C-alpha cells in the first residue's frame, strides 16, 4: 500500500511499445454528485428507441477445456522481422447511407469548458512512477497493443506475424519474466494453434485470474480463450476453443459476475457473447450465449463495447451485463435531436439454466452534447496526417474504445468511456464521459472533449480509481508531430467536464508509421494493489 496522503491508486496504460505507471496525488475531498449539465439538453435520458433485436439467438455446444503447459516453459517466439505487412484487415460489414437526420451543429460545444478550466495547481499527476519498454514493433500492422495489471505482474499482448505475442513483466520493476511467447503455442491442438491476433488480456480481480484471447484467421471463426489456473500468468491455463457462427472481428471483453462478456464486429451485425465464467474458472465444460444488435447506418465497421469491472466491489447481485455504443444522430438518426447525440446502453440478461430465455436489450439512450463522427467522412480509414508521408492514420471513429470501465461505489455505480470525435476540419479529439446510476437508470454526470492545440488525439483509453480520479491516455500526431503517446487526467474534486491536471508525454514518436493501421486499441488499467 502506498502512502495514502500522496498516492491514491496507480493507473497503467499500454500503447505501442511503452508501459507506464503513475499515481495521482493530493486527493483530500469526497466526490460531489452535483454534476453540471450543458445547456444543449445533454444529460437527460431519452426514451429508448423502439428497435427490435434481430432474431439471431445462438447457444454454443458445450466446450470441454484442456489444461495447457506452464506458459513460463514456452520457448521464445520466432518473429519474422523481414515481413512488413498488415494482418486482419478492417472488416467492413454494412454500409448503408441515409440522409442527414439533423442539421450540422458547428464547433464541439465542450471545447470551451476545457479551454477555460486552465491547469490545476499543484498538478497531481506529474511524473510516472515507472516507464519501461514493452514489446517491440514486429513489422505487423496494426500492433493492437493491450495489457493489464495484477497483484504482482503486468501482462502485455501485441500482434506478431503469426498471431498474438505475450510478455509477462514484474510490475514493480518492469523486468521481463520468462520469454516472449506466441499465444497459440499454448493451444494443444485444433484451429487455435494457428492464431491470428486481435489480442485481449484482462486481469479478473474478483477471481485473481488472467484471461488471454485471440481469434483464428477469417473463415475459421474461432475465439481462443485461456483462463489461468492460478494467479500466476506464467502458469497453466484452461484453454477453450469457442466456434462462432461468423468471423468474430475486433473482439473486446469485459469481466462481470456471471459471465465474461464479449463484443464483436460481424457480418450479421454487432454481436454480443456471454461466456460461462463460473465454469471456466473451475476448468469445467462451458458454453456461450450469443445475441446481436441492429446495425447503424453510415458506419461500415460496427461493434458495441462491454463494461469491464474495476475495483474489489462486484456489481449488485443479478445485475445484467452492460454494453455501449455512441450514436451520432446527424448520421444514424433518429430525427428530433438537433442539439444532442446519444450513448446507447444495452443490457445482456443471461440465464445459464435456460439459455433460450437470455435477452439482449437496449435499455436507454443517454443524451450527450453533440459530437461529430465524420472524421474524414464515415468510412475512410485514412485521416490523421504524419510527417514526411502521404500515409494517414485510421481515426477509429466507430466504437467506444477499449475499455468501458465500470466501478461500484457504495452510493453509486459508474461507467467511464471515450471515443473519437471531429473537433473541426477533420482534426480528431477525444470525447470522454462518466455515467452514474444511483437508482434504476443511468444518467450523464459529466462529459468533456480533450483537444488542446492543433494535434490530433485519438485511440484513447480511460479508467477511474477508487477515489474517483480519472486518467485518459491517447495517441497524438499531426503533419509535424510523429505519432506518440500522452496522457491527461482529473481529480474527483476538479471542475466537472475538465481534465485540468496537465498533459504529459509518455513516449515522443520518432518516425511515421508505414500503414494507416496504427491502432486498433490500447488499454488503461488500475493497479489492484492499492485500489
- Alpha helices (runs of H) in 36-160, residue ranges in sequence order: 111-117
User: Does the pLDDT of residue 100 top 70, yes or no?
Assistant: no
- The H or E element containing residue 277 is helix 277-281
Domains parsed from the chain with CATH numbers: 11-15+46-57+67-530 (2.120.10)
Reported as a single tens digit per residue, the pLDDT across 369-412 is: 999 999 999 989 999 999 999 999 999 999 999 999 999 998 99
What is the residue-wise DSSP string for 307-332? Answer: EEE-SSPPPSTTPPEEEEEEE-HHHH
pLDDT band at 14 (very low <50, low <70, confident <90, very high): low
pLDDT score for 120: 72
Q: CB neighbours (10 Å) of residue 36?
A: 13
- What's the mean pLDDT in 10-31? 47
Q: CB under 8 Å, gap of 24 or more: what pairs does 79-84 form?
A: 79/138, 79/160, 79/161, 79/165, 80/139, 80/161, 80/162, 81/138, 81/139, 82/139, 83/139, 83/140, 83/161, 84/139, 84/514
pLDDT score for 12: 65
The residue ranking higher by pLDDT, 3 or 275, is 275
Mean pLDDT value across the chain: 88
* Residue linked to cell 437508470: 441
User: Minimum mean pLDDT among 104-108, 168-172, 257-261, 302-306: which range?
Assistant: 104-108
Give CA–CA dist 57/140, Å, rounded: 35
**Stated pTM of the model:** 0.91
Reported as a single tens digit per residue, the pLDDT across 407-439 is: 999 899 999 999 999 999 999 999 999 999 999
Give CA–CA dist 409/14, Å, rounded: 26
Give CA–CA dist 267/71, Å, rounded: 34
Are the C-beta atoms of 204 and 210 separated by less than 8 Å? yes
pLDDT band at 23 (very low <50, low <70, confident <90, very high): low
pLDDT score for 121: 64
**Which grid cell sits at 267?**
457480418
Give CA–CA dist 77/182, Å, rounded: 6
- Residue 157, φ and ψ in degrees, nearest 5: -130, 145
- The H or E element containing residue 280 is helix 277-281
Amino acid at each position: 500500500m502506498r502512502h495514502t496522503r500522496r498516492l491514491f491508486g496507480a493507473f497503467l496504460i499500454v500503447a505501442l511499445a511503452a508501459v507506464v505507471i503513475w499515481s495521482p496525488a493530493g486527493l483530500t475531498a469526497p466526490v460531489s454528485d452535483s454534476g453540471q449539465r450543458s445547456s444543449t439538453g445533454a444529460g437527460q435520458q431519452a426514451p429508448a428507441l423502439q428497435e427490435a433485436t434481430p432474431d439471431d439467438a445462438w447457444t454454443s455446444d458445450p466446450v470441454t477445456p484442456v489444461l495447457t503447459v506452464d506458459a513460463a516453459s514456452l520457448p521464445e517466439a520466432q518473429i519474422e522481422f523481414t515481413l512488413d505487412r498488415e494482418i486482419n484487415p478492417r472488416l467492413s460489414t454494412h454500409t448503408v447511407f441515409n440522409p442527414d437526420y439533423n442539421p450540422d451543429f458547428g464547433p464541439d460545444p465542450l471545447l470551451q469548458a476545457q479551454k477555460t478550466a486552465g491547469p490545476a495547481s499543484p498538478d497531481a499527476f506529474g511524473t510516472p512512477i515507472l516507464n519501461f519498454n514493452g514489446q517491440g514493433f514486429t513489422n505487423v500492422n496494426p500492433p493492437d497493443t493491450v495489457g493489464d495489471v495484477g497483484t504482482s505482474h503486468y501482462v502485455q499482448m501485441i500482434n506478431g506475424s503469426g498471431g498474438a505475442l505475450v510478455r509477462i513483466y514484474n510490475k514493480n520493476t518492469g523486468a521481463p519474466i520468462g520469454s516472449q511467447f506466441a499465444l497459440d503455442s499454448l493451444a494443444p491442438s485444433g484451429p487455435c494453434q494457428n492464431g491470428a491476433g486481435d489480442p485481449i488480456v484482462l486481469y479478473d480481480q474478483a477471481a485473481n485470474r488472467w484471461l488471454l484471447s485471440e481469434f483464428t484467421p477469417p473463415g475459421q471463426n474461432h475465439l481462443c480463450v485461456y483462463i489461468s489456473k492460478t494467479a500466476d500468468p506464467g502458469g497453466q491455463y484452461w484453454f477453450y476453443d469457442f466456434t462462432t457462427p461468423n468471423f468474430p472481428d475486433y473482439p473486446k471483453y469485459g469481466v462481470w459476475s456471471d459471465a465474461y462478456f464479449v463484443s464483436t464486429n460481424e457480418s450479421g451485425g454487432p454481436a454480443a457473447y456471454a461466456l460461462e465464467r463460473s465454469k471456466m474458472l473451475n476448468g469445467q465444460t462451458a458454453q456461450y450465449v450469443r445475441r446481436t444488435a441492429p446495425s447503424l447506418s453510415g458506419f461500415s465497421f460496427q461493434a458495441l463495447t462491454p463494461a469491464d469491472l474495476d475495483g474489489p466491489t462486484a456489481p449488485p447481485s443479478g445485475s445484467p451485463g452492460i454494453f455501449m455504443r455512441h450514436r451520432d444522430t446527424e448520421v444514424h438518426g433518429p430525427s428530433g435531436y438537433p442539439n444532442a447525440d446519444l450513448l446507447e446502453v444495452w443490457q445482456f440478461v443471461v440465464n445459464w439454466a435456460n439459455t433460450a430465455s437470455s435477452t439482449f436489450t437496449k435499455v436507454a439512450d443517454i443524451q450527450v452534447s453533440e459530437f461529430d463522427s465524420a472524421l474524414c467522412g464515415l468510412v475512410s480509414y485514412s485521416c490523421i496526417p504524419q510527417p514526411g508521408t502521404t500515409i494517414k492514420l485510421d481515426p477509429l471513429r466507430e466504437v467506444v474504445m477499449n475499455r468501458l470501465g465500470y466501478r461500484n461505489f457504495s452510493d453509486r455505480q459508474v461507467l467511464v468511456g471515450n471515443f473519437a470525435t471531429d473537433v473541426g476540419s477533420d482534426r480528431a479529439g477525444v470525447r470522454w464521459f462518466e455515467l452514474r446510476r444511483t437508482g434504476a437508470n443511468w444518467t450523464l454526470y459529466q462529459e468533456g472533449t480533450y483537444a488542446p492545440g492543433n494535434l490530433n488525439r485519438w485511440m484513447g483509453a480511460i479508467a477511474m480509481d477508487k477515489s474517483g480520479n480519472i486518467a485518459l491516455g491517447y495517441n497524438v500526431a499531426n503533419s509535424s508531430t510523429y505519432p506518440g503517446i500522452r496522457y491527461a487526467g482529473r481529480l474527483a474534486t476538479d471542475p466537472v467536464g475538465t481534465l485540468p491536471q496537465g498533459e504529459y508525454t509518455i513516449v515522443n514518436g520518432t518516425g511515421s508509421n508505414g500503414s494507416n493501421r496504427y491502432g486498433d486499441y490500447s488499454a488503461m488499467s488500475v493497479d489492484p494493489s492499492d485500489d
